[in-house]
Chains A and B, each alone.
Chain A
């Protein structure tokens, strides 16, 4: 049995209907969401554009008031300011002050947590290094590219060393290295025992890091469960072998045939594009200069 305090976020029957100025109903963005996220978990909110992911996160943060239902976050109602002490939030797009530079930005948000100046200075430096913005830390954010803005946004969300981190599409706008870093970081946060809730419509991202996912479609929760369980295709088997002879390959094909099963694929497996890209980068960094395609070893 898990104790109640293990539940970091809980929603009951959470519903949001956007209304226009006259109170007329416009969009039912979220319909009766029941959700529990436990301590130390990485929870993914999946869904196509406009399915209600951002709406859910805003409701959790108290940025939106629910039409009905309840939110309990870190043991408090969403409208309680005190919940923010232990919370970090990376918005969908980084909404930061464009006239500040990276250092000033982090320092400002640090001050909002009443972090003492010395600690703040150290944390700011550490975070800037972590998100890889050292060379641009004195430049105003108005000059930043989208990915750089995203990185400083992430650093901003971690300024208070939060226990619960809400990331709205953390990988949007990031290059593959950035994406990989982001995923590694999320896993690191998990190792530190933190809870992460992230939204995304990129299956790959969610698959790589999340323990559990919920799939939203048009404001309704369609699927909820552990990633392995969701991704496991029970009817299929994949065999990957290194250095198999053609002889052995034929034997396997035969066995499959005898079992009256249907061979979908048997051959050299391909890596995902993302993996390939990373291999290339990693290799380029190790051996600078022109890279020869096709794997002929020099």
Chain B
């Protein structure tokens, strides 16, 4: 899975994030205060403006201290009841209908059907739930204003803080219930679409392997005695192998295998292929830190650029000292009792094709980061971008694994090094090495990747190689994947309620929709605001658009151009401030990606995003109630 912006560990992240949050909130508070003061000055005159502003702020603070959860929950349960009685459930029915339709068009015979299905359900639920969130939140308060029911509310001892938070809680509860329902439907849809069986006709499809002894009991139990192929289902067939001990195995195809059952009838043995297994996975990757080793043995942050525009992966040249190095922490025999299961997706770049069929050779090494003791554990062939699963055995043999000590020797003026490969300090011939005892120091271990073919290159990014810890629960992970959508929903509802505190229904809805769109393209928005985007700021690009000017050419240096640029600079400041308040919705694609690609959603990401969600919801709530509080209700 490609992870361009890895999520840092929570404790590393929270400090900077909190600081950024304070700055953003401070900037926005200043901006809002300014707007409020200007507004008050127009309405009440310059003398009255400041006392009125101070009074408003004090009252808003008081609302916080006298907040009553019971009243907030009364408002929340009203919102829930409203949604139920106004038949929001209809949306769910629409969703179900959609799933059933899609079932006809989704083709489960592709190479990775699990990914296709999961992506589909996550995407369709995302659209539905977020649109629903916009509808629910942007229309609820305006409806109260329109029917004037708000009159009977605000003449009770309810504070606007309770009204706003009650709304947010109530609508979020409704959203959560709907989301949960959709998640359950989606799960059944996905598992139903993925599940299929293959027919295996005994005696026809599976044939004894030629040259195998008649009496299987004399053979080693893992000897393949018969093999064949299942019949076609969902556009694919599986290889089937029968072993000497009578057990059988269905070989993986299209990222899944099947259970196989042995039925002994009289003196005949039949095999029956069962349901699909492993279509959905929840792998738990353990990532390391990446670095590169240059030709002279120097370590560096990036490898070679082979001329790709996308700088995600970085390359090392084959048959040289160059290597990609991952350093892992916390490697203990308790976590990996048998050895290290390594999975990787390596990009191979060829400067000459030679034999097109021939793949590029590579090798994996484990290295003790302190002593430099290195062993070659796996040699493999790599196609372009194939995911490879390798296993680093716990027991390492001096001869077979070519154990050496790899270090750097200072040369001459002390600023250059020579890579050294020695056999000094090794154990006596014949003695075995243990991965954890001899290669791991304080839980740290290096894994090196080298390309063995000269003039070929291997490219990798940090998430491209990981150790695979115990898999997580697939079922639980499927629902965990919906946490991302849940968070987006809560943020959007908070925005909707905020807008609906002072805008009419349709306008609030448009504004919330705008947030959704801008949130999905936040990076682009920020680029425009900072005048980093191609074609200049908003006015300049608009000018280019209407004058059919291309994005790159310099504009003639007229007064009009100057004016446009000045205007863009000023609006850029404003847009930047607004950009601070924009949630980055595209970040949440991570959740669906994880599930679709068969990875466990890391709790660290959940913690980081939950905090982010709160960091949006809280200020939005405060602004919302401050506005509602100072709004003339019976206008």
Q: Are A97 and B157 in contact (CB under 8 A)?
A: no
A266 at the interface (CB under 8 A from B): no
| Assembly CA distance A112 to B43 (angstroms) | 33
Q: Are A97 and B149 in contact (CB under 8 A)?
A: yes
| Assembly CA distance A112 to B70 (angstroms) | 8
Residue of A nearest to B70 (CB): A114
Interface-side segment among B78-86, B91-99, B181-189, B584-592: B78-86
Q: Are B82 and A91 in contact (CB under 8 A)?
A: no
Q: Taking A63-B633, A63-B634, A114-B68 as contacts, is the C-beta distance between A95 and B155 under 8 angstroms?
A: no
Q: Are A112 and B85 in contact (CB under 8 A)?
A: no
| Assembly CA distance A63 to B634 (angstroms) | 5
| Assembly CA distance A140 to B54 (angstroms) | 44
Residue of B nearest to A61 (CB): B155
Q: In whole Å, how far is A158's beta carbon from the nearest beta carbon of chain B? A: 13
Q: Are A113 and B157 in contact (CB under 8 A)?
A: yes
Q: In whole Å, how far is A257's beta carbon from the nearest beta carbon of chain B? A: 59
| Assembly CA distance A79 to B63 (angstroms) | 13
Q: Are A84 and B71 in contact (CB under 8 A)?
A: no
Within 8 A of B (CB), among A65-118: 65, 79, 81-82, 84-85, 87, 89, 91, 93, 95-100, 104, 108-109, 111-114
B100 at the interface (CB under 8 A from A): no
Q: Are B74 and A99 in contact (CB under 8 A)?
A: no
Q: Residue among B43, B156, B633 with the most chain A CB within 10 A?
A: B156
Q: Are A97 and B151 in contact (CB under 8 A)?
A: no
| Assembly CA distance A62 to B59 (angstroms) | 14
Q: Are A84 and B149 in contact (CB under 8 A)?
A: no
Q: Which residues of A contact B404 (CB under 8 A)?
A: none
Q: Which residues of A contact B42 (CB under 8 A)?
A: 23
Q: Are A99 and B86 in contact (CB under 8 A)?
A: yes
Q: Taking A95-B147, A97-B78 as contacts, is the C-beta distance between A112 and B634 under 8 angstroms?
A: no
Q: Are B632 and A109 in contact (CB under 8 A)?
A: no
B159 at the interface (CB under 8 A from A): yes
Q: In whole Å, how far is B203's beta carbon from the nearest beta carbon of chain A? A: 68
Q: Which residues of A contact B59 (CB under 8 A)?
A: 79
Q: In whole Å, how far is A227's beta carbon from the nearest beta carbon of chain B? A: 27
Q: Which residues of A contact B154 (CB under 8 A)?
A: 62-63
| Assembly CA distance A121 to B326 (angstroms) | 67
| Assembly CA distance A64 to B158 (angstroms) | 17
Q: Are A96 and B149 in contact (CB under 8 A)?
A: yes
Residue of A nearest to B63 (CB): A81
Q: Are B149 and A95 in contact (CB under 8 A)?
A: yes
Within 8 A of A (CB), among B142-163: 147-159
| Assembly CA distance A89 to B155 (angstroms) | 7
Q: Are A111 and B70 in contact (CB under 8 A)?
A: yes
Q: Are B81 and A100 in contact (CB under 8 A)?
A: yes
Q: In whole Å, how far is A107's beta carbon from the nearest beta carbon of chain B? A: 9
Q: Which residues of B contact A93 (CB under 8 A)?
A: 148
A39 at the interface (CB under 8 A from B): no
Q: Which residues of B contact A58 (CB under 8 A)?
A: 634
Q: Taking A63-B634, A97-B149 as contacts, is the C-beta distance between A109 and B82 under 8 angstroms?
A: no
Q: Taking A91-B151, A95-B151 as contacts, is the C-beta distance between A81 and B78 under 8 angstroms?
A: no
A156 at the interface (CB under 8 A from B): yes
| Assembly CA distance A111 to B74 (angstroms) | 6
Q: Interface size on B (CB < 8 Å)?
A: 31
Residue of B nearest to A99 (CB): B85
Q: Taking A63-B634, A64-B634, A100-B81 as contacts, is the C-beta distance between A89 and B152 under 8 angstroms?
A: yes
| Assembly CA distance A140 to B635 (angstroms) | 28
What secondary structure prevails in chain B residues at the interface with A?
A: helix
Q: Taking A111-B70, A111-B74, A112-B153 as contacts, is the C-beta distance between A81 and B159 under 8 angstroms?
A: yes
From A87, A99, A104, B155 is in contact (CB under 8 Å) with A87
| Assembly CA distance A96 to B154 (angstroms) | 13
Q: In whole Å, how far is A24's beta carbon from the nearest beta carbon of chain B? A: 13
Q: Are A156 and B152 in contact (CB under 8 A)?
A: yes
Q: Which residues of B contact A160 (CB under 8 A)?
A: 156
Q: In whole Å, how far is A70's beta carbon from the nearest beta carbon of chain B? A: 14
Q: Taking A91-B151, A95-B147 as contacts, is the C-beta distance between A112 and B82 under 8 angstroms?
A: no
Residue of B nearest to A85 (CB): B157
Q: In whole Å, how far is B300's beta carbon from the nearest beta carbon of chain A? A: 63
Q: Are B74 and A108 in contact (CB under 8 A)?
A: yes
Within 8 A of A (CB), among B604-635: 632-635
Residue of B nearest to A54 (CB): B634
Residue of B nearest to A58 (CB): B634
Q: Are B159 and A96 in contact (CB under 8 A)?
A: no
Residue of B nearest to A100 (CB): B81
Contact with B along A43-71 (1 / 0, CB 8 A): 00000000000000010011111000000
Q: Are A97 and B82 in contact (CB under 8 A)?
A: yes
Q: Are B632 and A112 in contact (CB under 8 A)?
A: no
Q: Which residues of A contact B635 (CB under 8 A)?
A: 64
Residue of A nearest to B74 (CB): A111
Q: In whole Å, how far is B338's beta carbon from the nearest beta carbon of chain A? A: 59
Q: Taking A99-B85, A99-B86 as contacts, is the C-beta distance between A63 and B151 under 8 angstroms?
A: yes
From B63, B71, B86, A114 is in contact (CB under 8 Å) with B71
Q: Are A112 and B148 in contact (CB under 8 A)?
A: no
From A98, A99, A112, B156 is in contact (CB under 8 Å) with A112
Residue of A nearest to B158 (CB): A112
| Assembly CA distance A87 to B154 (angstroms) | 12
Residue of B nearest to A55 (CB): B634
Q: Which residues of A contact B159 (CB under 8 A)?
A: 81
Q: In whole Å, how far is B169's beta carbon from the nearest beta carbon of chain A? A: 14
Q: In whole Å, how far is B486's beta carbon from the nearest beta carbon of chain A? A: 26
Q: Are A84 and B634 in contact (CB under 8 A)?
A: no
| Assembly CA distance A111 to B156 (angstroms) | 10
Q: Are B149 and A112 in contact (CB under 8 A)?
A: no
Q: Are B152 and A91 in contact (CB under 8 A)?
A: yes
Q: In whole Å, how far is A208's beta carbon from the nearest beta carbon of chain B? A: 26
Residue of A nearest to B148 (CB): A95
Residue of B nearest to A91 (CB): B151
Q: Which residues of B contact A64 (CB under 8 A)?
A: 632-635
Q: In whole Å, how far is A90's beta carbon from the nearest beta carbon of chain B? A: 9
Q: Are A81 and B158 in contact (CB under 8 A)?
A: yes
| Assembly CA distance A63 to B148 (angstroms) | 11
Q: In whole Å, how far is B351's beta carbon from the nearest beta carbon of chain A? A: 69
Within 8 A of A (CB), among B268-288: none
Q: Which residues of B contact A62 (CB under 8 A)?
A: 154-155
Q: Taking A108-B78, A112-B71 as contacts, is the C-beta distance between A95 and B157 under 8 angstroms?
A: no
Q: Which residues of A contact B158 (CB under 8 A)?
A: 81, 84, 112
| Assembly CA distance A19 to B147 (angstroms) | 21
| Assembly CA distance A85 to B157 (angstroms) | 6
| Assembly CA distance A61 to B155 (angstroms) | 7
Q: In whole Å, how far is B284's beta carbon from the nearest beta carbon of chain A? A: 46
Q: Which residues of A contact B632 (CB under 8 A)?
A: 63-65
| Assembly CA distance A23 to B634 (angstroms) | 16
| Assembly CA distance A43 to B369 (angstroms) | 90
Q: Are B71 and A109 in contact (CB under 8 A)?
A: no
Q: Which residues of A contact B157 (CB under 8 A)?
A: 81-82, 84-85, 112-114
Q: Which residues of B contact A85 (CB under 8 A)?
A: 157
| Assembly CA distance A201 to B86 (angstroms) | 37
The contact sample of 22 A-B pairs, CB cut-off 8 A, is: A63-B154, A63-B633, A64-B632, A81-B63, A81-B157, A84-B156, A84-B158, A89-B151, A89-B152, A95-B148, A95-B151, A95-B152, A96-B149, A96-B152, A97-B149, A100-B81, A104-B81, A111-B71, A112-B74, A112-B156, A113-B156, A114-B157
Given contacts A79-B59, A100-B78, 14 further A-B contacts (CB under 8 A): A23-B42, A23-B43, A63-B155, A81-B158, A84-B158, A95-B150, A95-B151, A97-B82, A98-B147, A100-B81, A108-B78, A111-B70, A112-B71, A112-B153
**B residues touching A (Cβ–Cβ < 8 Å)?**
42-43, 59, 63, 68, 70-71, 74-75, 78, 81-82, 85-86, 147-159, 632-635
**A residues touching B (Cβ–Cβ < 8 Å)?**
23, 58, 61-65, 79, 81-82, 84-85, 87, 89, 91, 93, 95-100, 104, 108-109, 111-114, 140, 156, 160
Interface pairs A-B: 10 shortest CB-CB: A111-B74, A63-B634, A99-B85, A95-B148, A112-B156, A84-B157, A89-B155, A95-B149, A58-B634, A63-B633
